[in-house]
Amino acid sequence: MLAFKEVKRLFMNLQETLELNVKAAVKSLFEADLQSVEFQATRKEFAGDITVVVFPMLRVVKGNPAIIGEQIGQYLVDNVSLVKAFNVVKGFLNIEIEDAYYLEFFNSINDNSNYGISKVKDDKAVMVEYSSPNTNKPLHLGHVRNVLLGYSVAEILKASGKKVYKTQIINDRGIHICKSMLAWQRFAPNGSDGQKETPLTTLNQDLRKGDKLVGNYYVIFDKKYKEEVKTLISEGQSEEYAKKNAPILLEAQEMLRKWEAGDEEVVALWGTMNGWVYEGFDATYKSIGVDFDKYYYESQTYLLGKEFIAEGLKTDVFEKDEDGSVWCDLTEDGLDRKIVLRADGTAVYMTQDIGTAIQRIKDYPDVGGMVYTVGNEQDYHFKVLFLILKKLGFDWAKNLFHLSYGMVDLPSGKMKSREGTVVDADDLIEEMANTAEEISKELGKLDDYSEDEKKSLYKIIGLGALKYYILKVDPKKRILFDPKESIDFQGNTGPFIQYTYARIQSILRKSSSEDFKASEISLHEKEKQLLKQLEQFPEVIQNAAEQHSPALIANYTYDLVKDFNSFYQNVSILGADSVNEKSFRVALSRKVGETIKNAFNVLGIEVPNRM
Torsion, Cα of 355, 358, 359, 363 (10° steps): 170
- Determine the average pLDDT of the residues in 11-15: 64
For the CA atoms of 214, 217, 221, 224, the dihedral, rounded to the nearest 10 degrees, stands at 180
- Please, are residues 225 and 218 in contact by the beta-carbon 8 Å criterion? no
Least confident of 3-7, 80-84, 225-229, 314-318: 3-7
Phi and psi angles of residue 47, each rounded to the nearest 5 degrees, phi first: -70, 140
Kindly state the percentage of the chain with pLDDT values over 90. Answer: 78
What does the pLDDT read at residue 420? 45
- Whether 137 shows a pLDDT value over 80: the answer reads yes
If we measure between CA atoms, which residue out of 191, 374, 200 comes closest to residue 275? 200
Supply the mean pLDDT for the chain: 92
Residue 415 has pLDDT above 60, yes or no: no
Whether the full predicted model's pTM is greater than 0.75, yes or no, is: yes
Please say if the pLDDT value at position 197 is more than 70.
Answer: yes
What residues are paired with 367 via a beta bridge?
A: 125
What digits encode the pLDDT tens for the residues 230-256? Answer: 999 999 999 999 999 999 999 999 999
Same fold across 4-97 and 434-603 = no
- Model confidence at 383: pLDDT above 70: yes
Given its phi and psi angles, is residue 194 left (phi above 0), alpha (psi -120 to 50 degrees) or beta?
A: left
| pLDDT bracket for residue 9 (50, 70, 90) | very low
User: How high is the pLDDT of residue 445?
Assistant: 66
Q: Work out the angle between the directed axes of helices 247-261 and 210-234 (0-180°, nearest 10).
A: 130
Mean pLDDT within 142-168: 96
Quote the CA–CA distance of 253 and 246 in Å, as a whole number.
Answer: 11
Q: Output the CATH code of domain 434-603.
A: 1.10.730.10
Q: In the chain, where are the structural domains located?
A: 4-97, 174-292, 434-603
DSSP annotation string for 376-439:
GGGHHHHHHHHHHHHHTT-GGGGGEEEEEE--EEBTTB---TTTT-S-BHHHHHHHHHHHHHHH
Class of domain 4-97: alpha beta
Q: Are 78 and 92 in contact (CB under 8 A)?
A: no
**What is the pLDDT at residue 490?**
84
Please say if the pLDDT value at position 493 is more than 60.
Answer: yes
pLDDT tens for 534-559 read 999 999 999 999 999 999 999 999 99
pLDDT at residue 410 tops 90 = no
Query: How far is 119 from 317, CA to CA, in rounded Å?
Result: 41
Q: Regarding predicted confidence, which is higher, 416 or 196? A: 196
In the predicted structure, residue 422 carries a pLDDT above the cut 90:
no
The pLDDT of 585-594, averaged and rounded, is 97
Going from the C-alpha of 206 to that of each of 201, 216, 427, the distances in angstroms are 12, 10, 10
Is residue 26's pLDDT more than 70?
A: yes
Residue 11 has pLDDT above 90, yes or no: no
* Tens-digit pLDDT profile for residues 288-301: 999 999 999 988 88
Going by pLDDT thresholds of 50, 70 and 90, the confidence category of residue 83 is very high
Q: What is the mean pLDDT of residues 107-133?
A: 93
Q: Over the stretch 52-68, which tens digit does the pLDDT of each residue have?
A: 999 999 999 999 999 99
Q: Tell me the backbone φ, ψ of residue 9, rounded to 5 degrees.
A: -75, -30
pLDDT score recorded for residue 421: 52
The CA distance from 49 to 523, in Å, is: 13
Is it the case that residue 217 has pLDDT exceeding 60?
Answer: yes
Residue type, 87: N
Task: Decide: helix, strand or coil at residue 169.
Answer: strand
Residue 1 binned pLDDT confidence (cut-offs 50, 70, 90) = very low
Is the pLDDT score of 516 beyond 70?
A: yes
What pLDDT does residue 412 have?
62
Highest mean pLDDT: which of 13-17, 124-128, 201-205, 455-459?
A: 124-128
Q: Is the pLDDT of residue 444 over 80?
A: no
**Per-residue confidence (pLDDT) for residue 481, from 0 to 100:** 84
Question: Residue 530: is its pLDDT beyond 80?
Answer: yes
- What's the mean pLDDT in 341-359? 91
- Is the model more confident about 488 or about 406? 406
pLDDT value for 7: 40
Name the pairing type of β-strands 400-405 and 367-375.
parallel
The pLDDT of residue 140: 87
Q: Which of 387, 400, 312 is nearest to 361 (CA)?
A: 400
Residues with Cβ within 8 Å of 108's Cβ and at least 6 positions away in sequence, in order, are 11, 12
With vertex at residue 306, the alpha carbon angle to CA 305 and CA 311, rounded to the nearest 5 degrees, is: 95
Q: Which residues contact 374 (CB under 8 A, 6 or more apart)?
A: 129, 132, 146, 381, 382, 402, 403, 404
Band of the pLDDT at 142, cuts 50, 70, 90? Answer: confident
